[in-house]
């Protein structure tokens, strides 16, 4: 895989501008990550919006540019309309306005250009920029995601089904357990402090291929679901006690040491 220093456009993303004096406190009470660092200085974070039962609805980046009178939200188009509707319902009397921004999302590997931000999830994901020039997409992001077990909106991250801790949000800096309450916080905190995770996303070796969403069997027992595949490996959601003799359709799966 090449490691270009240029950026490419991300056509499946859109950007919103968030303004109003309550913009930070409004998001702080809704999303899984801590907004207060962005109240103090420019930066970027990754977070999720959850149901009251702690299930994933959408994930996105929140950015505070150098100009501190607004925030940006970078979100996948497939979940954007429903997320905006939910945020609008939560707004009530808060002084917050969310409007489309005429900005293209650019992302790349190698040297980050001025005005860009390191992807907060993992160093392997390079950088993200807003309003910067970019080329047509050429980088194999699926290969990078599989190598580091990084979930993608609408693939491994399933609205109304996925849980943050099973999806790797703690490892990928997408949830903060020291901040105050937010929607779904109680369930997420209970999973962190009172239970032991028995299932979740892992990278496995795969011999063969099968469609995303193929059920995984361990012998004759259901063990999980197969997701993104690249270079003889795959991301799978698995029960940890059934990671032996696994198959997904005609493909065979093996734990990665």
Looking at the fold, whether 110 and 156 belong to one and the same domain comes out as no
CB burial string 150-165: b at 16+ within 10 A, e below = bbebeebbbbeebbbb
**Tally of structural domains, the chain:** 2
- Give the mean model confidence (pLDDT) for residues 132-148: 95
Residues 6+ apart with CB under 8 A from 82: 57, 58, 159
Give the CATH number of the domain where residue 45 resides. Answer: 3.30.70.1400
Decide if 2 is inside a domain.
no
**Does residue 1 lie in a domain region?**
no
Residue 25 in any domain: the answer is yes
pLDDT tier at 6, thresholds 50, 70, 90: low
Same-domain pairing of 117 and 172? no
Are residues 117 and 39 part of one domain? yes
For the cut 50, the answer to whether the pLDDT of residue 1 exceeds it is no
Instruction: Please compute the mean of the pLDDT values over residues 85-97 and round it to a whole number.
Output: 95
- Could you tell me if residue 106 is inside a domain? yes
Per-residue pLDDT band at 60 (split at 50, 70, 90): very high
In a domain, 12, yes or no: yes
Averaged pLDDT, 192-206: 94
Angle CA 189–70–126, to nearest 5? 65
| 127 and 171, same domain (yes or no) | no
**Together in a domain, 32 and 67:** yes
pTM, to two decimals: 0.94
The 10s digit of each residue's pLDDT in 41-51 is 999 999 999 99
CATH, residue 172 = 2.40.30.160
Q: Above 80 in pLDDT, residue 92?
A: yes
Does residue 191 sit in the same domain as residue 94? no
Evaluated on CA atoms 131, 133, 136, 140, the torsion sign reads: negative
Looking at 84, 116, 139, the residue that finishes a domain is 139
Residues 96 and 164 in one domain: no
For 59-64, what is the mean pLDDT?
A: 98
Q: pLDDT band for 2, please (50, 70, 90 cuts).
A: very low
- Residue 154 is part of which domain span? 146-255
- Both 186 and 104 in one domain: the answer is no
The predicted pLDDT at position 39 comes to 93
- What residues contact 52, with CB distance under 8 A and at least 6 apart? 183, 184
Among 62-76, 142-156, 181-195, top mean pLDDT goes to: 142-156
Given a cut of 80, whether residue 144 has pLDDT beyond it is: yes
Give the confidence band of 214 by pLDDT, cuts at 50, 70, 90: very high
Q: Are residues 112 and 56 in the same domain?
A: yes
Instruction: Give the HSE-up count for residue 178: Cα atoms under 13 Å, Cβ half-sphere.
Output: 5
As a whole number, the mean pLDDT across the chain is 95
| Torsion region of 184: left, alpha or beta (phi above 0 gives left; psi -120 to 50 gives alpha) | left
Taking each continuous run of H as one helix and of E as one strand, the counts in the chain are 5, 15
pLDDT at 110 over 90: no
Q: Same structural domain for residues 124 and 209?
A: no
- Is residue 67's pLDDT more than 90? no
């Amino acid at each position: 895989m090449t490691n270009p220093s240029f950026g490419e456009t991300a056509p499946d993303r859109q950007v919103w501008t968030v303004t109003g004096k309550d913009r930070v406190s409004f998001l702080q009470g809704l999303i899984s990550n801590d907004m207060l660092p962005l109240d103090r200085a420019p930066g970027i974070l990754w977070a999720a919006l959850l149901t009251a039962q702690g299930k994933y609805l959408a994930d996105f980046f929140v950015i505070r540019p150098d100009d501190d009178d607004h925030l940006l939200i970078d979100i996948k188009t497939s979940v954007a309309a429903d997320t905006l509707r939910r945020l609008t319902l939560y707004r009530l009397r808060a002084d917050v306005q969310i409007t489309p921004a005429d900005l293209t999302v650019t992302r790349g590997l190698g040297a980050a250009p001025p005005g860009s931000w390191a992807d907060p999830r993992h160093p392997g994901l390079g950088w993200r920029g807003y309003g910067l020039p970019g080329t047509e997409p050429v980088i194999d992001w699926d290969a990078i995601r599989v190598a580091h077990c990084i979930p993608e909106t609408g693939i491994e991250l399933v609205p109304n089904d996925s849980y943050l801790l099973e999806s790797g949000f703690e490892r990928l800096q997408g949830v903060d357990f020291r901040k105050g309450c937010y929607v779904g916080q109680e369930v997420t905190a209970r999973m962190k402090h009172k239970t032991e995770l028995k299932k979740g996303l892992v990278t496995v070796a795969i011999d063969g291929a099968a469609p995303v969403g193929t059920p995984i069997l361990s012998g004759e027992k259901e063990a999980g679901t197969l997701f993104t595949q690249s270079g003889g490996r795959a991301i799978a959601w698995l029960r940890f006690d059934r990671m032996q003799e696994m198959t997904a359709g005609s493909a065979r799966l093996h734990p990665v040491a």
